[in-house]
Structure 1
Amino acid sequence: MMTSIVILVVSIALIAGAVWGIFGNISKKTEGFLVALAGGALLVSALLELIQPALKSNSIFITLTTVFIGAIIFTGLDYLIKQKWGNNSGGGLLAAITLDGIPENLALGVALIGASPLSVAALTGSILLSNLPEAAGGAKEMAQNHNKIKVLFIWVGTAVILAAAALVGHYLLADVEQEYLKYIKSFAGGAVIASLSLEVFPTSFKKDRYWSGIATTIGLILALFLHTLDA
């Protein structure tokens, strides 16, 4: 029951963010602030929840290589989206959410097996902090150049894919060795770091200028607090 609730909440956060961005009235400054807030939360998630566990128990060389591969693949996809496919309207943020979200939600599904309520709250909270504002910012930009209903369906489809990834993680990867699951998380961590550099922080600074630094720190503090609940 808890698994279904958590997966539903995380998925709804994406859809709610998309609806807010497409149909709501978000100023550029607010959008930049929210994206920076998500960036701070993602930074904590990438380092403490995705990469650090593998560094503690797995091969350091393989872990860091996996992180690098995640960054390379995201960067390549981001390049294709912007330079080859000509999509500079939120597609990068959609790619960021999808690429790091699939392994992240796989890990979420596995983490929910026998997890304590505080552990579930910490992990779910970090994902919520990042998904909601990212979806709002990305969907708003996409809606400026495409049909709003079509954009909404794209984000709903993304939420369904990520929910499916969490269900796969929970029901099909329960018996996979922790070593390999941590490598999956490391790959996600590399994708997150690349997305922060290429999409999240440049977007937030462009829209909200120096307030984005404050917003990033707020997101980081909130995510760190949630992380301490599981300490």
Structure 2
Amino acid sequence: MTVWLEAGLWGLLAGSALLLGAAAGWWFAIPPAVVAGVMAFGAGVLVSALAFELVDEAERTGGLLATSLGFLVGACAYVVANELLSRRGARHRKRSGPHQPSEHEAKGSGAAIAIGALLDGIPESVVLGLSVLGGGGVGVTVLAAVFISNIPEGLSSAAGMKRAGRSAGYVFGVWAGIALACGGAALLGSLLLDGAPAATIAVITAVAAGGILAMVADTMIPEAFQRTHVLTGLITTVGFLTAFTVQRWG
């Protein structure tokens, strides 16, 4: 199997977690506390993955200055884009707390929800594609982190759109499209950057890592805390330790 095709399939697998979460949110009444717990665990997994695989690898290949600049650019880009999207209704795309979007909010924010999910998923998928280029296979920790963090996003958003009266075709069409886009991002990341200078790949990896960390701090942990409260830190720590253990054993 060609490297770029393998990368695309791994990206599609990670993106399929959005569909898995959407299916759970559509057909089952998942307690919000469970969604929040998964979100907190996923936050810990993501922090571990970006610390021990993304930023560390970027610094070793591209140097501290390039990594730092890329990391800050990624964080700033996420914060700015997330704020712009929140004004268009995307602030509820990962909501696990007591507030749920009204019918008007949910119906009017379909495009914003999709763009918000892409905002999270595209950088993660590109990193997955880049991890395959080294010849050692996909980064297992990053794959697990992206997969786990995608589940509560699809779950909470699908449940909200169902309450707003959206059809199953609309809901699953949105998330299937996003999953395919994630696969495409991983494929293109591997295809277009194959043979690129190590410093270029390092900067791109650092940009993605900065965006992911900003997303964890701005979205995942605060919204998980609304339901898991004092257990949020413990659950996040368990997620971090689990990913760290997988990375060391991998």
Give TM-score scaled by structure 2 length: 0.79
Q: Which amino acid aligns with 1:218?
A: V
Correspondence for 2:53 among 42, 45, 49: 49
Aligned residues: 228
- Given the alignment of the two structures, is residue 10 of structure 1 paired with residue 30 of structure 2, yes or no? no
After superposition, the Cα gap between the structure-2 partners of 1:54 and 1:152, relative to the gap in structure 1 and judged at 3 Å, is same
Equivalent-residue separation in structure 2 for 1:41 and 1:163 (angstroms)? 21
After superposition, the Cα gap between the structure-2 partners of 1:38 and 1:124, relative to the gap in structure 1 and judged at 3 Å, is same
Higher alpha-carbon deviation: 105-114 or 172-181: 105-114
Q: CA deviation at 1:177?
A: 1.6
Aligned-pair identity in percent equals 24
Q: CA deviation at 1:77?
A: 1.5
Alignment of 1:169-208 (within 5 A): 169-208=189-228
Alignment of 1:40-119 (within 5 A): 40-82=44-86, 84-90=87-93, 97-113=117-133, 115-116=135-136
After superposition, the Cα gap between the structure-2 partners of 1:217 and 1:96, relative to the gap in structure 1 and judged at 3 Å, is farther
Equivalent-residue separation in structure 2 for 1:167 and 1:19 (angstroms)? 25
Instruction: Give me the CA root mean square deviation.
Output: 2.5
Q: CA deviation at 1:90?
A: 1.0
Q: CA deviation at 1:97?
A: 4.7
Equivalent-residue separation in structure 1 for 2:32 and 2:144 (angstroms)? 25
Equivalent-residue separation in structure 1 for 2:89 and 2:140 (angstroms)? 39
Equivalent-residue separation in structure 1 for 2:190 and 2:116 (angstroms)? 22
Q: CA deviation at 1:91?
A: 6.2
Q: CA deviation at 1:226?
A: 1.7
Are the aligned partners of 2:46 and 2:142 in contact in 1 as well (CA < 8 Å)? no
Q: CA deviation at 1:89?
A: 1.9
Give CA deviations for 1:136-171 in whole Å, capped at 9, x if unaligned.
Answer: 234434544462532332222111111001111233
After superposition, the Cα gap between the structure-2 partners of 1:5 and 1:154, relative to the gap in structure 1 and judged at 3 Å, is closer
Equivalent-residue separation in structure 2 for 1:72 and 1:20 (angstroms)? 33
Q: Which amino acid aligns with 2:177?
A: G
Give TM-score scaled by structure 1 length: 0.85
Structure 2 unmatched runs, 5+: 96-112
- Given the alignment of the two structures, is residue 162 of structure 1 paired with residue 176 of structure 2, yes or no? no
Alignment of 1:142-157 (within 5 A): 142-145=161-164, 147-149=166-168, 150-157=170-177
Are the aligned partners of 1:107 and 1:185 in contact in 2 as well (CA < 8 Å)? yes
After superposition, the Cα gap between the structure-2 partners of 1:146 and 1:226, relative to the gap in structure 1 and judged at 3 Å, is farther
Give CA deviations for 1:160-217 in whole Å, capped at 9, x if unaligned.
Answer: 1110011112333211122111111111111111111111011100122122222212
Q: Which amino acid aligns with 2:166?
A: N
Instruction: Give the secondary structure class of the aligned counterpart of 1:56.
Output: helix
After superposition, the Cα gap between the structure-2 partners of 1:123 and 1:73, relative to the gap in structure 1 and judged at 3 Å, is closer
Partner of 1:132: 151
Structure 1 unmatched runs, 5+: none
Partner of 1:211: 231
Give CA deviations for 1:26-70 in whole Å, capped at 9, x if unaligned.
Answer: 111111101111111111122222222122232322221211111
